[in-house]
Structure formats: structure tokens, C-alpha cells
Amino acid sequence: MTKECREDSASSNRECAPCAVCPRGSYESTPCADGNSMIDRQCTACPKDTYQDEENSLQCKPCPMNSGTRNMTNRTARADCFCNDKYHSFGNDTGLSGCYECGIGEYSSGDGSTACSPCPLGSYGDAMGMPRCVPCPEGSFGNDTGLSGCYECGIGEYSSGDGSTACSPCPLGSYGDAMGMPRCVPCPAGSYAGAAGSYACRDCPAGSFVNATGSSLCHDCQMGEYSMGHGNTACTDCPMNTYGNATGMWRCHDCCDHSASSPRSTMERDCRCTKGYHKVPLLESIPDS
């Protein structure tokens, strides 16, 4: 026989028992009198992304759109709802009222802040509702906050890492001949860049050379050597019957007629008279009689 219980009690194992009050942050889907739950039933915690700020509730309240409880359950107030990634809030004294997308050049990491933050130096935001800003890629820089895009490095400049706030001039011995370069190009052998920020290398002039890449200067040919033209990577020995008596020569001097010298000769006296000829000494000046 079913026993009829009072309004403020419920039947449990055929006995009437007082009803238990479900506290805030929980709910009971099987009500008894006045919204209380049966004493032999457990009140259920509100799941994540919901809350309940009243007692004796039959269901939980959802967080406002684009917000959640960060995977926490049993939340008791709307203030426990936080904006999700990409959104920011306009709050009031009673808790979160709504979440909205951040604008271009801004971001929000979903920390419940009431405003979006401008993208920091060295980064950009090129779309609405970004949870984080993007570092400027190699070959570019961001020298201001709140940028929607980064700037390319100029000719003769480079940036080799992500998130640069400025570009650097190409170092000595290298060049940058295009915009947005992540690194500068070493000068090839036979050329040099003697100033930082060069957009091109210069060929070594006649009488000089360089045999390595990335050089900031050329080397003079040694005595007994020469180099003709531009962009030389090595000097050439003065041939037979010539001599080079200075550094940095672009051609060797010829020996006098009927004289000869060995290759790489460095002095005029290295030119020796050939067989059947002899040197005539210079006449000394003598006073008039």
C-alpha cells in the first residue's frame, strides 16, 4: 500500500523523509515539494559551461554566448563564466554580459578581460577574433603595436628571426638586393662589400684580387705579379722578360731590348743582357773644360 507523504517530504523505501535542498551550483531533475530533492537522491553539479546562482533549481543556466567555465563544474554565478579564446567581454556588476570578437590588430587569450589588447611589437593580427598575434616572419619587422601586417625589410637589410622589431643592415662582405630578405648574400670571390647595408658587391679592380667569399676588401697583387681587368680571384706571375717592381700592378714592365728575365721578376736589374750583348754604363757628367 502506497503511503502518502506530506508536501515537504518524499517517499524513500516506503518511508517519508524530509526533502534536501539542492545548493547553488547544482540541480535535481526529479523534484519534490517546493523544488527540494528527495533525501535519498544526490543533487547533480552543474556541468562545465553552465552555472546556477539559485537554490532548489531543476536545471543549470548556460554561460553567455562565446564564454565558458574553463572546464570547471559546480559554478554558482555568472561571473564564473569567462570569454573563450578570440573574444573579450563587456562586463557589469552582476557578471559577464557577453563576449565579442576582437578587431584586426588585436587579440584576446580568453582570460576574461574586458578589452582586447593590441598586438605587441614584432607581431600582427590580420583577422577578426584572433586568440593570439602572429610573430612577424623572417625578412620583415613590426615596429609598432596593433599592426594588421608586418613591413618588409628594405634593400640592403635583413631580419633572420621571427618577431623582429627592426631590420639590420647587411654586414660587411655581404649584400641584399631585394626586399624582405631573411639573410644577406656573401659577396662572391673576386668582389667585395666595404660598407654595411650594401645592395651589391663591387668587383675587385685591376691590380687586386680576393679568392674567398664574403670579403670586405680586395688584396693588392704582390711584386712580380699582376691582374688585368676586374673581379680577379688571383694574380698572375709576371711572364719571362718582364718584371713587376710594385704592388697592385695591372701589367708588368717589359725588359729592355736584348735582355731577358725569369718569371715573377721584381726589379729592372733582373733583366739580363742576352748572349752577345752587354750593358752600357750610364755616362757620368763631366764638367766643361
pLDDT in tens, 219-268: 999 999 999 999 999 999 999 999 999 999 999 999 999 999 999 999 99
| Residue 165 covered by a domain | no
- The domain that contains 22 carries what CATH number? 2.10.50
Higher pLDDT, 5 or 269: 269
For residue 65, the SS3 value is: coil
In a domain, 153, yes or no: no
Alpha carbons 206 and 227: distance in angstroms, whole number: 6
- What integer pLDDT is reported at residue 11 of this predicted model? 44
Let me know if residue 113 belongs to a domain: no
AA identity, residue 261: S
* Domain end among 39, 56, 84: 84
Total count of domains within the chain:
2
Instruction: Note whether residue 242 is domain-resident.
Output: yes
Lowest mean pLDDT among 20-24, 75-79, 136-140, 247-251: 20-24
Residue 38 lies in a domain: yes
In a domain, 143, yes or no: no
Would you mind telling me the total number of residues written for the chain in this entry? Answer: 289
Query: What pTM did the predictor assign?
Result: 0.66
Q: Look at 44-48, 53-57, 102-106 and tell me which has the smallest mean pLDDT.
A: 53-57
Evaluate whether residue 230 is within a structural domain: yes
Q: Report yes or no: 280 and 258 within 8 Å, Cβ to Cβ.
A: no
**Which residues constitute the domain of residue 29?**
16-84
DSSP state at residue 228: -
pLDDT of residue 58: 81
**Residue 33: what pLDDT?**
42
Q: Is residue 191 part of a domain?
A: no
Residue 7 exposed, middle or buried by CB count within 10 Å (0-12, 13-18, 19+): exposed
